[in-house]
Amino acid sequence: MDFVNTGQVPTRLQDFAAATDTGETSITGNGCENVELQPGENCQVTLSHTAEEPGRFSVTLTAVTSQGTTLTVPLSGEAVGASKPTTATTGEPTSEPASPTATGTESTPPPDVTGTPSP
């Protein structure tokens, strides 16, 4: 998933964490931790999910900006078999009110940092 600084000031992302409702999710690659993103720059985080059984699952990815804002990115997917890595798809990122914040396509205040899945 890509994180893009769409704001006007540099920001740093840190303290990434992934929590899931079922199975096990881990951050397998993090090119964003403590990297200062200039306006327009991006970085990438990779997640892996191992299912306990087939079915839907939800993951919440969080990170904190250097401005103190907590970004929250809800993800969901469907496991087709037990104990096999499954790719999560993105939901709409949300954040506490502050700048920069996460962006989504729903009616939320204009954000500065975007979390979207990469191909």
CATH of the domain at 60: 2.60.40
- Within-domain flag for 20: yes
| pTM reported for the whole predicted model | 0.65
| Residue-number span of the structural domain to which 11 is assigned | 2-100
Question: What is the total residue count of the chain?
Answer: 119
Domain count, the chain: 1
- Within-domain flag for 115: no
- Within-domain flag for 87: yes
HSE of 52, CA atoms in CB hemisphere, 13 A = 8
E strands within the chain?
Answer: 2-5, 11-20, 24-30, 36-37, 42-50, 55-65, 70-79, 85-86, 89-90, 94-95, 102-103, 113-116
Measured at the CA of 68, the angle between CA 97 and CA 102, to 5 degrees, comes to 50
Rg over alpha carbons for the chain, rounded to the nearest Å, is 14
Reading the chain (119 residues) residue by residue, the pLDDT tens digits are: 999 999 999 999 999 999 998 889 999 999 999 999 999 999 999 999 998 889 999 999 999 999 999 999 999 999 886 554 555 555 545 444 333 434 433 333 334 444 555 44
- Within-domain flag for 119: no
- Within-domain flag for 8: yes
